[in-house]
Amino acid sequence: MKNFFGTFRTENKLELFDFNNNDKIDYVSKTYIDDVAEEIVNLYELYSMGINGKFNFQVDNQNKPYFIKRTFNSETDKEIKEKFEQYWITKIK
């Protein structure tokens, strides 16, 4: 099984984690969305490597996906705090 990673307008290094201390390799994807003229969105989603070597999108026991969504003003590059959304393993402050 092969996994391929790449970046576009995001960090230039690969980071792997073990979020739940379960010896599974976790990866946080970062998607850059710039379809709206005034805003740029960075969407982070969680994947974990299964026993077959494939990374699987992670959801909780109610099938709700883990994500972090940060929205920025495209002119100032400042985060729009009121638009911050998340459903993560632990609450992000």
| % of the chain surpassing 70 pLDDT | 85
Q: Which range (25-39, 57-71, 77-91) has the least confidence?
A: 25-39
Q: How does strand 85-87 pair with strand 39-49?
A: unpaired
State both tokens at 59.
């959801």
State both tokens at 82.
């009121």
Distances (CA, A) of 91 to 4, 8, 66, 70, 86: 29, 27, 11, 14, 8
pLDDT, tens only, 28-66? 988 888 876 789 999 999 999 988 888 999 999 999 999
pLDDT, tens only, 7-20? 555 566 778 889 88
End-to-end CA distance of the chain: 37
Asked whether residue 86 carries a pLDDT value surpassing 90, the answer given is: yes
